[in-house]
Amino acid sequence: MTASNPHTIDASLVHFLETGPSDGQPVLLLHGMRFTAQTWQETGTLDRLADAGFRAIAVDLPGFGQSPDADGSKSDILKRIIGAFRLENLVIAAPSMSGEYSLPLIIDPEISLAGYVAIAPTHVPAFAPSLKGASLPVLAIWGDDDPVVPPAHADLLAEALPNLTRVIIEKGGHPTYLNQTAQFHDHLEAFLKGLTACRNVIPDKSHLISEHDVTTLG
């Protein structure tokens, strides 16, 4: 079931879907160029995370889906979105194009991250040198048949980030969460549960997927 509920916080609308318990570990799901927040509903990822006790938020990045464009650098835009939700100790899941938005946040002292899921993100060669030595837990997950972002980029991240788990999914494409969804979900959930092993989060089985517009960007 999907509910609609617009929210006003600042100045420019950002559309998002949210599900799971409000006190669950927050997981912010970004998207690639051809996709939107709706993709994570269609793949069942929002439901899977909610059933596991996580608070899952999928956003339409500005200029995509139902979110209008916004001014500012991509990383600053994402920081303002995170600030609007008042998210702390969150995990960012970043496929493809959203790497340009999110990779710099791995070492941003203003953002409280518990982990990062690199889903074949773009711009790894550009950002990997600046990430060197960062201790954040990272899951790097690629399809072995990715024609857009080669799996070798996972190795670049592994060289920079000492606390990285590298997963290459057999017969996986660039959006490996589409053609190898079950394996993708298993690895994602295992990583997230590893981060929250010390927390007592009770899954909310009666969750709804709520659809929102939130004003966050000036």
Q: Are 70 and 101 in contact (CB under 8 A)?
A: no
Of 103, 143, 141, 145, nearest to 122 by C-alpha is 103
Q: Are 180 and 165 in contact (CB under 8 A)?
A: no
**Catalytic residue chosen out of the listed positions 12, 96, 98, 102:** 96
Going 150 to 155 to 158 to 164, the CA torsion angle's sign is: positive
- Annotation marks residue 146 as catalytic: yes
- Annotation marks residue 96 as catalytic: yes
Of 10, 139, 197, nearest to 86 by C-alpha is 10
Q: Are 102 and 129 in contact (CB under 8 A)?
A: no
Classify burial at 134, counting beta carbons within 10 Å of its beta carbon; exposed 0-12, middle 13-18, buried 19 or more: middle
**Catalytic residue chosen out of the listed positions 174, 185, 207, 212:** 174
- Annotation marks residue 145 as catalytic: no
**Catalytic residue chosen out of the listed positions 146, 153, 187, 207:** 146
Residue with token string 């060669």: 125
Residue 92 host element (H or E): strand 90-95
Q: Are 196 and 203 in contact (CB under 8 A)?
A: no
Catalytic annotation, residues: 96, 146, 174
